[in-house]
Amino acid sequence: MQRRSRKRKQTEVQAQPSPPIKSTGEPFPNHPHPTPEDCRAVRDDLLALHGFPKEFAKYRSQRLNGSALIPAKPEPFDGEHDQSSSGFNESVLDGLVSTVLSQNTTDVNSHRAFASLKSAFPTWEDWVTNSLSKLGVLRPTFSWVELVLIAESKSVENAIRCGGLAPTKASCIKNVLSCLLEKKGKLCLEYLRDLSVDEIKAELSQFKGIGPKTVACVLMFQLQKDDFPVDTHVFQIAKAIGWVPEAADTKKTYLHLNRRIPNELKFDLNCLLFTHGKLCQKCTKRGGNPQKRESYGNSCPLLNYCDISKSECNS
């Protein structure tokens, strides 16, 4: 029971809107790490160990090609669509909802919840048609986000239950959609592509339940901006290798790393640290099923940085 309670407290889905993230400020002005050389060395070491993570390859390809992930045309979701294919299409709103569903659960469960959400709601079209025909609206057509918006909360919860925290996440998603429709008149976040990073942070932080990590993930993946999300894995590794002081919290870690890490290294380094944190038992104190985690023993390349960090602290 205590473990479940702590997990619920850690979720970013909150009752009130999160304050906008500010990219200015230097929380640890006297802390010397990471240097650009540190960042490049860790990136290269982890790349040699893991290769680049396949789950992020689609986003990396878009970055290397210099093209934005702008969907030319919404495509129907058949439950079997492979988003890792060359025809990968993802809207900003899809990315935001997917990131909300990923909070405090495994990648497998969050992907399953998102697929369930997008595949379940077309079955509501007949119900919607019958309901609205009574109001004189004939043959309405709806996108999946519109169906989620008008659906009862319990129905949305059932669709995403496999991802955990279903009532809280369903409330967050429906709130985002309703606020977006009220403010913009349509369910679309593509307008964010034309805004600056600070403007995007201010826009997304207005939605209840959308916290700093979610905003940073949307910036980095869907909007192709240079940002550095700090999840549990990144946070614990950053402390272990001395990139932030031991007393640092996640907010100050986010501010510090975004100022210190060169923009051109942020994407690769973040994906690799996240992946390594899930796999290596020695680098983080938690993170997934221990039976699925690997022990690299003395071959873990980050152990050298941990040793250097300890020697600096003791000097």
Whether 54 sits among the annotated catalytic residues: the reply is no
Question: What is the spatial distance between Cα 33 and Cα 31, in angstroms, rounded to a whole number?
Answer: 6
What is the four-CA torsion angle of 178, 182, 184, 189, rounded to 10 degrees?
Answer: -10
78, two tokens: 């058949």
**Number of domains making up the chain:** 2
My answer on whether 309 and 284 are in the same domain is: yes
Output the CA–CA distances (angstroms, integers) from residue 60 to 63, 109, 207, 259, 311, in the order listed. 5, 23, 28, 22, 36
In tens, the pLDDT along 201-238 reads: 999 999 999 999 999 999 999 999 999 999 999 999 99
Catalytic residue among 118, 201, 213, 278: 213
Domain end marker among 188, 207, 223: 223
Maximum C-alpha span of the chain: 77
132 falls in which pLDDT band (50, 70, 90)? low
3 falls in which pLDDT band (50, 70, 90)? very low
CB atoms under 10 Å from CB of 34, counted, come to 24
Domain end marker among 223, 239, 267: 223
My answer on whether 215 and 75 are in the same domain is: yes
- The kind and range of the H/E element at 62 are helix 57-65
User: Domain of 274?
Assistant: 30-68+226-315
pLDDT of residue 19: 57
Give domain status of residue 45, yes or no: yes
My answer on whether 81 and 212 are in the same domain is: yes
CB atoms under 10 Å from CB of 148, counted, come to 25
What does 192-246 look like in DSSP terms, one character per residue? GGGS-HHHHHHHHTTSBT--HHHHHHHHHTTS--------HHHHHHHHHTTSS-T
My answer on whether 214 and 74 are in the same domain is: yes
My answer on whether 87 and 182 are in the same domain is: yes
Query: Average of pLDDT values for 35-40?
Result: 97
Whether the predicted pLDDT of 149 surpasses 70: yes
Which neighbouring-strand residues pair with 294? Answer: 280
In tens, the pLDDT along 63-75 reads: 888 654 444 333 3
Average model confidence (pLDDT) across the chain = 80
The structure's pTM equals 0.77
